[in-house]
Amino acid sequence: MALPYFQTFGESQEAIGGETDKVSQSTFERRFTMARVKMVLNWWIPMVLIIFALISPAIAEAKSLKIWPDQLTPTEPNSQYWQGVEDISNGYFYEPLTLPLGAKITKVIYYHLAEEPNSTWFRIYRVKMGFREEELAHGSSTDSTETIIPVDVVLTGDTIIRAGYRYYIWVYSGSATWFRGANITYQE
């Protein structure tokens, strides 16, 4: 006569002895340990991310460089150009741009004022010895509302400051238009 299934199973447990209890106990301990690890990770990962989010602005704080009109050098002086502390007009001007290596330009704004629909232009270039210049940013305005307006400069090239290049700003201001300065925002 054959034994029913449950009797055979019971007999096999007795034959194995206490080994089955040890295996089931170690499986339980592993599952319990994994549950504790998951619980700790579910708590620690968000905490680490929050701490990193709070610290990272201090690490990569945005800085700015102000370019005043009287810092610029006329490239083609003429009898009609004007340059003062607060504005320049009627000419072409440039200024070397010095930022720390590895800095990334993130935003550029310049200020425009005009009485007639003439234009102002603002550009940032870089040049490597023996090569042509590369444009990194440009902006222009023909606004003639006789109010000072900020003009967003479009970033067009590689805005990370790299070794081996010279960087410079180039500005044009037509008659009855005035360049009133610029603000370059960057991150180190």
The predicted-structure confidence for 33-45, as pLDDT tens digits, reads as follows 777 767 767 766 7
Q: Which amino acid is at 52?
A: F
- Domain end point (choices 59, 86, 103): 59
Residues 9 and 43 in one domain: yes
Residues 93 and 123 in one domain: yes
Give residue for tokens 């270039």.
125
Lookup: tokens for 18:
């206490």
Q: How far apart are CA 183 and CA 66, in angstroms?
A: 5
Residues 102 and 123 in one domain: yes
Q: How far apart are CA 159 and CA 17, in angstroms?
A: 73
Residues 43 and 112 in one domain: no
The tens digit of pLDDT for each residue in 82-97 reads 888 999 999 999 999 9
Residues 17 and 86 in one domain: no
Write out the residue range of the structural domain in which residue 147 sits.
62-187
Question: How many folded domains does the chain comprise?
Answer: 2
Q: How far apart are CA 117 and CA 122, in angstroms?
A: 17
The structure's pTM equals 0.66
The tens digit of pLDDT for each residue in 117-156 reads 889 999 999 999 999 999 999 999 999 889 999 999 999 9
- Is the pLDDT at 7 greater than 60? The verdict is no
